[in-house]
Chain A
C-alpha cells in the first residue's frame, strides 16, 4: 500500500540554522504530496503542496520539491526561527483516493 517515511526526530537547531526534514514515499499511482505542520496544542495546517514531478511547493520560507526519480519530497528552510518549533508531517494522496496517508511526523525544536 501507499506509505510515507520521514526522518526520526526530534530535530534540534539553533535559530537561523538551515533545516532539512527528509521525506520519501511509496505509491501505486501518481501522488500529490503535502507538508502539514502541527503547532503545540493545535490542529494540522497545510504548509505546502506539489502535484507533479519537479513542482516546488513553498510557503513561509519553507520549500519542498517533488522528485519522482528519488520518490522524495524533502522539506527545507534557509533560516529557522523559534516560532517554527512544531511537528511536521509529510503526506500524500493518490488519484481517486481521498484519504491522506501521513508519515510519522518529525518534531522540530528551535532554540534562541
Chain B
C-alpha cells in the first residue's frame, strides 16, 4: 500500500521543454507539498496546498505551477525547463490538524535537464 506515490520516477528532457510530475496520496491528508532536493542533498520547500488551496509559495520561478485537482493529488508543471531545474523533486503530505505536522514523503522524481 503506497502512501505517497509520484510519477514518473525518472524524467530526462531537454532545455526549453514543458513537463509535469504527478503526486497522489492515499492517507486522507488535507495538506500536500513539493520539495526540491539539489545535488548536494539540500531540501527546500517549493509549494504547499491545504484542501486544494495554495498556502505556501516559496519564491519559486513562475515557470513552476502546482495544480491540486483534489485533496489527494498535487501535480507540478514546469515550463521552459532550464539546466538548473535538474534535481530530485519530492512530494509530501500531512494532516493539518495533527500537531506536529508530520510529513510523509514520496519516493522522489529525478529530473535531468540536458
Contact = CB atoms under 8 A, between A and B. Distances in A.
- Decide whether A and B are members of one complex: yes
A98 B56 contact: yes
Q: How large is the interface on B (under 10, 10 to 19, 20 to 34, 35 or more residues)?
A: 20 to 34
| Chain B contact surface mostly | strand
| Most A CB within 10 A of own CB, among B56, B94, B101, B102 | B101
Nearest to A106: B41
Interface string A7-34: 0000000000000000000000000101
Interface residues of A, number: 23
| Most B CB within 10 A of own CB, among A51, A100, A102 | A100
Interface string B70-103: 0000000000000000000010101010011111
25 contacts: A32-B100, A36-B105, A38-B41, A43-B4, A43-B106, A44-B43, A44-B105, A49-B102, A51-B99, A51-B100, A93-B100, A95-B99, A98-B33, A99-B33, A99-B45, A99-B48, A99-B58, A100-B35, A100-B45, A100-B92, A100-B101, A100-B103, A102-B42, A102-B44, A105-B42
